[in-house]
Structure 1
Amino acid sequence: MISILFAVLTAISNGTASVLQRRAAAEAPEEAALHLSLLRDLLRRPVWLGGIAMSMVAAVCQAVALATGPIAVVQPIFVIELPFTLLLGGLLFHRSFPRAVWLAVVQVGGGLALFLLAAAPSGGDEAVSPGSWFPALLASGAFLAVTLGIGLKVHGNARAAALGLAAACGYALTAALMKDAMARLNEGGAGALFTSWQLYATAAIGAGSLFVLQNALQAGSLAASQPMLSIGDALISTCYGVTLFAETLRTGWWLLPQLAALALVLFGCLSLSRSPLADGLAGGPPVDADTAARV
């Protein structure tokens, strides 16, 4: 229960961070895309810094969640970050909620519940055996090379989708490294944690994933990047849980409800990210000073 609680808190913090970062990135100059000048521009925007602060809160909650539960349970819960963010943001901005938004929220929540019930992730090791990391990092690097390569060649929403998927892989890998690093903390204390390469790889890959995500948010609409980020993170994290931590999922006919659940989540995320509510919170017209102050 502790892992689920902190996973939900992570989703709320991370979703809010994504929207704040999207608002700032949407105003950045297009010529700054895929350059460090984009980060220099964003550092001057208080809204973006607020998003970074929420990301730090999310990182702490995620560390606790991963230290106390299987990665195949914790990471899929993060798909609820979009509905949580839109509902919270709608309340703050005094926006109405169309019936389609509520239906999409039910789809995401119901799809997540169905997936966890059908897959029933369980078991698993606390730490990764040293020999397992090399093939995992090699496969992750190849996947990132392909998605980033596609992102460099296309533009608009296609770039946002490709970079969103690359960011999802980076964040999933960061979660796996973080869970392994926390296992070192539990086994050998602070000394083992700060001498583990996993801790520093978590920081490096996390920073790189953040940079890729900013470019995904700047390149196109939330409808293009968010579903790839949410679904991609859940699926890739589950793969890491099974291959690196020996977590188990139900197979056989249970795969049918799992696929149905993923379809529900995907359609729900698409509906939410295409809604006028998402446009207003993520990249719509600026709000008045009083409203901004409340955020």
Structure 2
Amino acid sequence: MISVLFAVLTAISNGSASVLQRRAAATVPDTEAMRLSLIGKLLRQKVWLAGIGMVIVAAVCQAVALATGPIAVVQPIFVIELPATLLLAAHLFHVRLPRPVWLGVAAVTCGLALGMGCAAPGGGTETVHGPAWIPALIATAAFEAVVIGWALGTRGNARAALLGLAAACGYALTAALMKDAVARLEDGDGFLVLFESWQLYGTAVAGIGALFLLQNALQAGSLAASQPMLTLGDALISITYGVTLFGEHLRTGWWILPELAAIALIAAGCTELARSPLAAGTKPPPGRVT
């Protein structure tokens, strides 16, 4: 129960961060794409710094969630980050959400409930046997190289979607490394054992890389293009890490059919929600969001 609570808090923080960062990144010209100078320009914007603050809050909540629950349970819950953020934004802006947005919220929520109920993720170990990380890291590096290379050959929303997927893979790896690092606190003496683990530093590197890719995804195109790839990619790749690295299990067989239906529901809901002006980080006219 603790892991679910902190996963929900993480989702709300991450969703708020994405909206704030999108608002900042959209003001940066295309000439800054895939350059470190992009981060330099964003650092001068208070709205982007506020988004980073929410990222830090999310990281703390995520660490608690992963320390108390399986990665295949915690990470998929993050798909609610966009619905939660839109509902909060609508409350703050005193606007009424239209029917398509509510349908999007319902689609994501029902999709998550259906997927989690059918997959029934659980089990597994708290830590990863050291050598098991080698093929996982090689496969991740190869996947990232292919996706980023593909993205660099495109423009606009296609690039945003591909970079969103690359960022999702980075965030999923960050979660897996974080879970492995935090779990070692239970096996060692005090916090020193945490700082002695390479997984902690791997978490920092993977997280920074994922953040860089996300900024470029948000700068390249619309949130409607990047957000579904980011949301679903993070959940599905995290589940893959959970199964292959931590030995967690999911239902298979005929259960795969409703699980695929759940993925389709979540994808459709995220796409609809990401089209909202609130998701783009802009304040809509009073009264209603279209």
TM-score for both structures, normalised by structure 1: 0.94
Correspondence for 1:173: 173
CA distance in 1, matches of 2:88, 2:185: 35
Q: Is residue 278–residue 284 contact of structure 2 (8 Å, CA) maintained in 1?
A: no
The one-letter amino acid paired with 1:272 is L
Moved beyond 6 Å, runs of 4+: none
The one-letter amino acid paired with 1:108 is V
Deviation track 1:223-262 (CA, whole Å, cap 9, x = no partner) reads 0000000000000000000000000001111111111111
CA distance in 1, matches of 2:197, 2:31: 39
CA distance in 2, matches of 1:277, 1:15: 11
How far is 1:264 from its partner? 0.6
Instruction: Point out where structure 1 has 5 or more consecutive residues left out of the alignment.
Output: 288-295
Correspondence for 1:290: none
Correspondence for 1:292: none
Instruction: Point out where structure 2 has 5 or more consecutive residues left out of the alignment.
Output: 286-290
Correspondence for 1:140: 140
Matched positions, count = 285
CA distance in 1, matches of 2:205, 2:8: 25
Deviation track 1:161-212 (CA, whole Å, cap 9, x = no partner) reads 0000000000000000000001111111312110100000000110011011
1:247 aligned counterpart, secondary structure:
coil
State percent identity of aligned pairs. 69
Return 87-96 or 71-80, whichever deviates more.
87-96
Equivalent residue runs for 1:159-198 within 5 Å = 159-188=159-188, 189-198=190-199
Correspondence for 2:288: none
2:185 aligned counterpart, secondary structure:
helix
2:126 aligned counterpart, secondary structure:
coil
How far is 1:276 from its partner? 4.0
- Note if 1:209 corresponds to 2:231: no
Correspondence for 2:237: 236
Correspondence for 1:91: 91
Deviation track 1:126-161 (CA, whole Å, cap 9, x = no partner) reads 000011100000000011001110111111001100
- Note if 1:275 corresponds to 2:276: yes
How far is 1:270 from its partner? 0.8
1:127 aligned counterpart, secondary structure:
coil
1:73 aligned counterpart, secondary structure:
helix
CA distance in 1, matches of 2:195, 2:93: 43
Q: Is residue 95–residue 277 contact of structure 1 (8 Å, CA) maintained in 2?
A: no
CA distance in 2, matches of 1:36, 1:250: 43
CA distance in 1, matches of 2:182, 2:228: 29
Deviation track 1:88-138 (CA, whole Å, cap 9, x = no partner) reads 112212222001111110110010011111000111000000111000000
The one-letter amino acid paired with 1:274 is R
Correspondence for 1:107: 107
Return 118-127 or 186-195, whichever deviates more.
186-195
Equivalent residue runs for 1:21-170 within 5 Å = 21-170=21-170
Correspondence for 1:248: 249
Correspondence for 2:3: 3
The one-letter amino acid paired with 1:202 is T
How far is 1:14 from its partner? 0.5
- Note if 1:223 corresponds to 2:252: no
CA distance in 2, matches of 1:163, 1:103: 27
How far is 1:268 from its partner? 0.5
CA distance in 2, matches of 1:33, 1:200: 26
CA distance in 2, matches of 1:24, 1:204: 23
Return 12-21 or 182-191, whichever deviates more.
182-191
CA distance in 2, matches of 1:180, 1:277: 36
CA distance in 1, matches of 2:277, 2:45: 24
Q: Is residue 163–residue 214 contact of structure 2 (8 Å, CA) maintained in 1?
A: yes
How far is 1:285 from its partner? 6.9
> Pairwise CA RMSD of aligned residues?
1.4
1:172 aligned counterpart, secondary structure:
helix
Q: Is residue 150–residue 162 contact of structure 1 (8 Å, CA) maintained in 2?
A: yes
Residues 277 and 56 of structure 1, relative CA distance in 2, 3 Å threshold: closer
Q: Is residue 93–residue 283 contact of structure 2 (8 Å, CA) maintained in 1?
A: no
Q: Is residue 121–residue 250 contact of structure 1 (8 Å, CA) maintained in 2?
A: yes
Q: Tell me which protein shows more helix as a share of its residues.
A: 1
